[in-house]
Each structure stands twice: as structure tokens, then as C-alpha cells.
């Protein structure tokens, strides 16, 4: 009985069980109620894709750039890849591979390390996010996710940015 009570007290006071957990970081934003903390931490380095934007289309197929007035630049790369920059620094990137029933997105932080793998079901629309050693379920149609600009504006192709090659060419 004493050992059980001591264990409960130790765990309740923050003692470690030996399990590996992500390191806490004072600068880590709280989850939005939609995205898991791993993705919230990654997106904290970028301004969200909101506000006025302009587009620059290159001659190469599927290469373009969207520049937002808050400093975020979204660049499409060939073969389903997008890079997100804040100024000149890459803050996140994603590559997508589609299949008949799912699309798998691999998200990387600015340092190039994989942060999350997101499997998006095409039939049910649910996202299964694998990160921080756990799987999280995200419903992009929920109210919390519709308020999250990274979910609401997930497809940079669909963002209405007028073409203005001069404003967005060299960003």
C-alpha cells in the first residue's frame, strides 16, 4: 500500500516514469484545438496564409509563388511539394503523394527534419497525424479546424491571389 501511494504521489508531482516524451518548450504554442502540438510548433515559425496576397507564375509547369502581405511566401515545387518561407528562411515544407483512397503528406520543419506524417482519407476526410510518437485524429470540417488558417487554406493552389509578377517575383 505504501509503495502504491508513494508512486501515485511521485507521478502526481511530476516524477518521470522513464517514458520518452517530447521536451517541453516555453515557446511552444498551445494546440489550436485542431492541430496537434507538433504541427503547431512547426507553424509557429511561419505567419499564417491569410491576408492580401499576390502570385508569381513561372514558365515551368506547376511552379509558382504566393506572397502574403504578412511576409509568408508559399512556393510550389514540382511533384507535389510546397515550401513555406518567412522572409528568406524556410519555416516548413510538405510533399504529398496521392493514391486512390488517401493522400499522404510529409511535413518538415525549417531544419528539414520530418515533423509529421498526415494521412488524409479521401472518403471520410479525416486526417491521421503521426507525430511526437503518437497518432492524432483531425477533423478538418470541425469548427476549431475551420478557424485554423493552416487547415482552412491547406491547398495553396486554391488561394485567390491575383497575378502580380513584380510584387512577388523576388520574394
At 91-131, the pLDDT tens digits run: 999 998 888 788 899 999 999 999 999 999 888 889 999 99
Position 32 scores a pLDDT of: 63
Average pLDDT over residues 24-36: 59
Better-predicted residue by pLDDT, 62 or 40: 40
For the chain, what are the domain ranges?
31-168
At 50-60, the pLDDT tens digits run: 888 888 887 66
**pLDDT tier at 165, thresholds 50, 70, 90:** low
63 neighbors 69 (Cβ within 8 angstroms)? no
Distance of alpha carbon 157 from alpha carbon 143, whole angstroms: 23
Residues 6+ apart with CB under 8 A from 19: none
Above 80 in pLDDT, residue 24?
Answer: no
Position 102 scores a pLDDT of: 86
Name the pTM for this structure: 0.75
Distance of alpha carbon 36 from alpha carbon 23, whole angstroms: 15
Amino acid at each position: 500500500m505504501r509503495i502504491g501511494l508513494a508512486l501515485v504521489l511521485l507521478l502526481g508531482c511530476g516524477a518521470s516514469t522513464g517514458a520518452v516524451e517530447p521536451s517541453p518548450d516555453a515557446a511552444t504554442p498551445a494546440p489550436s484545438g485542431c492541430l496537434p502540438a507538433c504541427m503547431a510548433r512547426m507553424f509557429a515559425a511561419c505567419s499564417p496564409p491569410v491576408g492580401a496576397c499576390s502570385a508569381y507564375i513561372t514558365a515551368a509547369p506547376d511552379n509558382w509563388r504566393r506572397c502574403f502581405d504578412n511576409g509568408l511566401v508559399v512556393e510550389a515545387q514540382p511533384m507535389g511539394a510546397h515550401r513555406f518561407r518567412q522572409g528568406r528562411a524556410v519555416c516548413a515544407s510538405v510533399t504529398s503523394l496521392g493514391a486512390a483512397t488517401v493522400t499522404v503528406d510529409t511535413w518538415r520543419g525549417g531544419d528539414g527534419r520530418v515533423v509529421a506524417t498526415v494521412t488524409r482519407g479521401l472518403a471520410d476526410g479525416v486526417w491521421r497525424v503521426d507525430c511526437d510518437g503518437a497518432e492524432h485524429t483531425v477533423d478538418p470540417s470541425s469548427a476549431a479546424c475551420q478557424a485554423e488558417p493552416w487547415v482552412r487554406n491547406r491547398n495553396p493552389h486554391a488561394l485567390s491571389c491575383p497575378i502580380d509578377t513584380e510584387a512577388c517575383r523576388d520574394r
